[in-house]
Chains A and B, each alone.
Chain A
Amino acid sequence: MRELSKRQSRMLPVRRSFVLGVTLVLAAATRADEAVDHWAWKAVVCPAVPSGLPSTGNPIDSFVRARLTAAGLTPAPPASREQLLRRVTFDLIGLPPTPREIDAFVADTSPDAWAKVIDRLLASPHYGERWARHWLDLVRYADTNGYEFDEPRPDAWRYRDYVIQAFNSDKPYDRFVIEQLAGDEAFPGEPTALVATGFNLLGPDMTDSSDQPLRRMNTLVDMTDTTALAFLGMTLTCARCHDHKFEPIPQTDYYRLLAFFAPARFRHNLHAVTPPEEEAYAAALREYDSLTRGLRDEIAAVEEPVRTRLRDAKLSRLSEEARLAHRTPEKNRDGGQLELVAQTERFIRVSDAEVVKALTAGERARLDELKRRLKSFDPRRPPTPPLAMGLSDLPGPPAKTYLLERGELANRGPEVQPGFPVVLTSGQPVPATIVPVPNSSGRRLALAKWVVSPGNPLAARVIVNRLWQHHFGRGLVATPSDFGTRGRVPTHPELLDWLASELVSGGWTLKRLHRLMLLSETYQQSTLASPRAVASDPENHLLGRMNRLRLEGEPVRDTLLAVSGRLNPKRGGPGVVLPGASQAAGGSRALPVTADAAEYARRSIYLFARRNLRNPFLETFDLPDSNLSCPKRERSTTAPQALALLNADEALAAARGMSAKLEIEHPSPSARVEAAYRLALGRPPSADERERALEFLRESPLSELCRALFNLNEFVYLD
């Protein structure tokens, strides 16, 4: 019976969508009205806070209680102090509270004890590491290109660090949006704003595509889709090929939005420096070049004939096609030639050692001397500026954008101009006001400014809903990137609009919103529900209790490092390649393992993310695929997760590390048990638990108790 009902429940939406489709076809003429009527596309109007109920002083509680009271329900009692501290610490920084922090909070009887905890955590640099991860899911972040070669993007991490820094510095969200869409146009000369535009290029990229115009179109499509999903909560993807079947979104809307990006040049080696720094660098480089030109020419005169001879000899052993591919200038190579060159390059590479070996003794001595002299100029050579991925505009007038029939590049329809989705402009296409900026069309800036303008009700609603989702486990709108007519309706529409208004009136600061949400009694409720509450609100739509949340893979791994005293708190910088993550995989090359083993114990957000070879531990715990925007992680419960926490090196090393630490710090088994529970679960053991643990230790080593604790439901589920 269960299986049957499950099948039915899966098929039900299909039928519903079929009916809806038919309805929409029949009612196509009424689409414009529908656009005006749909809640999400109407202007945000700050609602009055419900009154007439006992107030906690936090309007969030008033909104939530109004619905609870109407349903005849009461809120759950507050969670215990230990539970609260564990909940909020994971929530804000993705790590467990330390025993000292637990003691301090439990002992702090001052009325603002809770507020102090929140402020402490929001001020922690770990806050950005935790919340940037949510954003990186949304923007399909990875450190490689994907497809066959999956080449590293050695500078992608600057975008990751930018996001961490943006959260930590509480960068106003409107500015955060503008920087990512149009940082180059809005804040020319600001390196961080340039790095932010990397957002647009984070998707997978087939560098050796046999159809380079299609490759460019795929990238434009990817940034258009992701922009609509991440900032607007709109699912435009369907409209790429045809008018949206279920939303009043015509196909022209898709290409009008895409047209904002059409002039963009995709940069993979932007100098992320200020203009004066760039000038200084260029000048220093010119000086170095002129100082050393003679020497370098002399070196080349010795080396190059030999190098060319050796290379030609190697080249002659390759196939005719490969020889031709290598001889074709890089910019003229087609996709097949790019692939062939990539595959055969290592066969024709001539190392310095090979060159030196082929020289006469006299030449060798002369080369040594020349190189020694060249080296003496090294201090004059300017270091390469930090590089980043991002956008600038191509020179000249913007390329025209056409509607593509069925989404096919070869199938051009009418030309379209940049413009916003008509559902947000009262059903009529309104041309965007675009003001060119120096060296750039100004199109993306026009888009970015509109996204965060009062004329667009979605940006604020969407981001406050995302914050709510991560704090409470489910958004007020349960489909966080789909605020369209097919998305879920908000459980508390007035609260959503009140929060959106608060965000904008408070200058778009996110930390203020976090604080508001966390200070509410709604957040501080226990997860325990009365049978009556469960019966009348099984899915907890009314928030009469706290949802019991499972940790994602990153906090699980980070906690294993933290509780065993091994977590390396180093912040930022290039991604860490773990020893198990370096092998060649499906056409990609092996990567050099990060040399310093201390780096392996860094937080998960700093692990190098390969599209074609994902971290198995994190993958087991629902690490999202990094190729499409992911607004909400799956939360599966599987046997491989159990196997990973039981048997993976991550768990074993943590168990041994933690027990070693406990043995040094605590003399008696009883004290060790006490400390182990506090470290792993954020609370002391009950008398029963203590007794059972001590009994366990009579036959088992302390490291096994630690390993057992990591496998408890309580370890991964927050009360």
Chain B
Amino acid sequence: MNPFTGPTDRRSFLRDAGGGFGVLALAAMLADEGWLVAAEPDADPLAPRPPHFPARAKRVIFLFMAGGPSHVDTFDPKPDLTRLHGQKLPASFGMVKTRRGVDKNRLLASKRTFAKHGRSGIEVSDWFPHLAGCVDDICVLRGCHGDSVTHPESVYLMNTGSILMGRPSLGAWATYGLGTENRNMPAFVVLPDPGGWPKGGAPAWGNGYLPAAYQGTLVRGGDVPVRHLATPPGVTAGQQRRTLDFVNRANRDHLAARGPDTELAARIAAYELAFRMQAHAPEVVDLASETAETKALYGLDRKETAEFGTRCLLARRMVERGVRFVQVYSGDTNGWDAHTDIEKNHGELCRASDKPIAALLNDLKRRGLLDETLVIWGGEFGRTPMTEGTNGRDHNPHGFTMWLAGGGAKGGTVVGSTDAIGLRAAEGATHVRDVHATILHLLGFHHKRLTFLHNGRRERLTDNGGEVIDAVLA
């Protein structure tokens, strides 16, 4: 039931108009009646828009491994590191900066076993038995590098392209560029780990200097997936409808008395959207309609995978319904930050995330969604080949692994490498900026042309350079 049954019965057709169409229909109707000045660019910041050129990727799921997962224990096998285990960093590697000053510490071999998988024969460690089955869909970037040895700066770099806080995030840029196809849900959804946010907090999904409409929205399961979504306590559904009817009627009279005004009309439309969101968002996060097979696929039936699996399944449901950008965090505030006992820390997080991530890729694929959905995996940095304490690893922004799948990324490929022990990016090195340029390219943007004028500068995500990594493109 739509509460927006105003004085004209023409509105009733809106009730039956599904999805985002209702907005367009309303806009058209308002324009018809002379209330909406045509071609007003600011009226609807989230209206869907085409990118600069046609592209495969329409949506993004960014699986963010907060704290910084070790590449040498997961996707970047280093036999030389095993060979040099217990020795000091050879002098040939020169000076290296780390957060905790472990440059003089001994090298620590990975305790993991690597094996080749799939037709591509990409090596993956035994921490990811399920994901290993997906390597032919994955493009592994083994030569990534960033700019800072600290968490918040690196979290900001990975999310916003700058180590300084307060710049717009990747998800904000994507929704700024593309709008959204589902107005019943936020365009840019963030599913944080229930244990805590990544270091640096909400600015990681902030809008920076972009309009607030582009910021990430925290979404959780249950009846109130989005803040302020629930009708206030003590107000019945019927009452909410009566109140909204009153508001709508008065707003239309108010507009009629004032003549065409895009902002007033847009605000009336926003109330309609709000109502739709209230009706539809709980359905999006309700997993009741998922089959037992699907739930099991994501590991919802097992203690160690149920939580992260649920969020991966939510991510699929959202992109399926046209949400533009979903960011799923793995790991609480400390997350993958294994300064001590990497075996325990990473072992638990890998067990929690391996099956759900593999399920996500396979599920997207069998539903025909993977081709249009770019899945990104990575943390803010990798970890040092040198030990910290006896069994931990320090932060390593000098060389680490990310991977991309679907959305026009070339599966079964390895791009770039680190040096013999995994300390620094070597051949085919790709800076975080290059990864950003590539992501924007996969979404159909010339990364230098997706800009926003702020304080006299035409700002962009890849402000300090960045080149599209051609080898990633399918």
Tally B residues with Cβ within 8 Å of A: 96
**Does A627 contact B203, Cβ atoms closer than 8 Å?**
yes
**Does B166 contact A206, Cβ atoms closer than 8 Å?**
no
**Does A700 contact B247, Cβ atoms closer than 8 Å?**
no
B333 part of interface (Cβ distance < 8 Å) = yes
Instruction: Output the nearest chain A residue to B231 by Cβ-Cβ distance.
Output: A647
**Does A625 contact B247, Cβ atoms closer than 8 Å?**
no
Q: How far is the CB of B462 from chain A (nearest CB, A)?
A: 14
Instruction: Output the nearest chain B residue to A2 by Cβ-Cβ distance.
Output: B39
With a cutoff of 8 Å between Cβ atoms, the chain B residues found around residue A704 in the complex are 235, 239, 242-243
**Does B166 contact A204, Cβ atoms closer than 8 Å?**
yes
Q: How far is the CA of A235 from the CA of B196 in the complex (A)?
A: 38
**Does A616 contact B274, Cβ atoms closer than 8 Å?**
no
Flag A604-644 by CB within 8 Å of B: 1 or 0 each. 00000001111010011111011111110011111111111
Q: How far is the CB of B417 from chain A (nearest CB, A)?
A: 26
Choice from A150, A612, A623, A713 contacting B268 with Cβ under 8 Å: A713
**Does A319 contact B165, Cβ atoms closer than 8 Å?**
no
Q: How far is the CA of A644 from the CA of B201 in the complex (A)?
A: 22
Number of A-B contacts (CB under 8 A): 268
Q: How far is the CB of A638 from chain B (nearest CB, A)?
A: 5
**Does A340 contact B274, Cβ atoms closer than 8 Å?**
no
Binds A, one of B44-52, B124-132, B306-314: B44-52
Q: How far is the CA of A538 from the CA of B100 in the complex (A)?
A: 60
Instruction: Output the nearest chain A residue to B454 by Cβ-Cβ distance.
Output: A628
Choice from A238, A335, A708 contacting B247 with Cβ under 8 Å: A708
B264 part of interface (Cβ distance < 8 Å) = yes
**Does A208 contact B150, Cβ atoms closer than 8 Å?**
yes
Q: How far is the CB of A583 from chain B (nearest CB, A)?
A: 10
**Does A692 contact B151, Cβ atoms closer than 8 Å?**
no
Flag B149-176 by CB within 8 Å of A: 1 or 0 each. 1111100000000001110000000000
B101 part of interface (Cβ distance < 8 Å) = yes
A9 part of interface (Cβ distance < 8 Å) = yes
Binds A, one of B56-64, B110-118, B251-259, B342-350: B251-259
Choice from B50, B101, B207 contacting A336 with Cβ under 8 Å: B101
**Does B339 contact A586, Cβ atoms closer than 8 Å?**
no
Choice from B165, B226, B258, B451 contacting A527 with Cβ under 8 Å: B258
A7 part of interface (Cβ distance < 8 Å) = yes
Please judge, given known A-B contacts A210-B148, A210-B149, A711-B271, whether A636 and B211 are in contact too, CB under 8 Å: yes
**Does B339 contact A319, Cβ atoms closer than 8 Å?**
yes
Q: How far is the CB of A4 from chain B (nearest CB, A)?
A: 8
Instruction: Output the nearest chain B residue to A483 by Cβ-Cβ distance.
Output: B456
Q: How far is the CA of A704 from the CA of B245 in the complex (A)?
A: 12
B183 part of interface (Cβ distance < 8 Å) = yes
**Does B150 contact A613, Cβ atoms closer than 8 Å?**
no
Q: How far is the CA of A95 from the CA of B148 in the complex (A)?
A: 45
Task: Specify the main secondary structure of chain B where it touches its partner.
Answer: loop
With a cutoff of 8 Å between Cβ atoms, the chain A residues found around residue B15 in the complex are none
**Does A147 contact B47, Cβ atoms closer than 8 Å?**
no
Q: How far is the CA of A538 from the CA of B262 in the complex (A)?
A: 11
With a cutoff of 8 Å between Cβ atoms, the chain A residues found around residue B39 in the complex are 2, 5-6
A440 part of interface (Cβ distance < 8 Å) = no
**Does A548 contact B37, Cβ atoms closer than 8 Å?**
no
**Does B458 contact A642, Cβ atoms closer than 8 Å?**
no
Q: How far is the CA of A13 from the CA of B200 in the complex (A)?
A: 34
A525 part of interface (Cβ distance < 8 Å) = no
**Does B455 contact A587, Cβ atoms closer than 8 Å?**
no
With a cutoff of 8 Å between Cβ atoms, the chain B residues found around residue A636 in the complex are 45, 211-213
**Does A625 contact B206, Cβ atoms closer than 8 Å?**
yes
Sample of 6 further A-B pairs with CB below 8 A, known A146-B203, A646-B243: A336-B99, A586-B196, A689-B250, A692-B250, A705-B246, A712-B250
Binding site for A on B (CB under 8 A): 37-39, 41, 43, 45-50, 52, 97-101, 148-153, 164-166, 183, 186, 196-204, 206-209, 211-213, 215, 217, 226-233, 235, 239-240, 242-244, 246-247, 249-251, 254-255, 258-261, 263-264, 266-268, 270-271, 273-274, 276-278, 333, 339-340, 388-389, 449, 451, 453-458
Binding site for B on A (CB under 8 A): 2-3, 5-7, 9-11, 13-14, 17, 146-148, 150, 204, 206, 208-210, 218, 229, 234-235, 237-238, 247, 319-321, 334-337, 339-340, 479, 481-482, 484, 486-487, 527-529, 531, 534, 538, 548, 550, 584-588, 611-614, 616, 619-623, 625-631, 634-644, 646-649, 651-652, 689, 692, 696, 699-700, 704-705, 707-708, 711-714, 716-717, 719
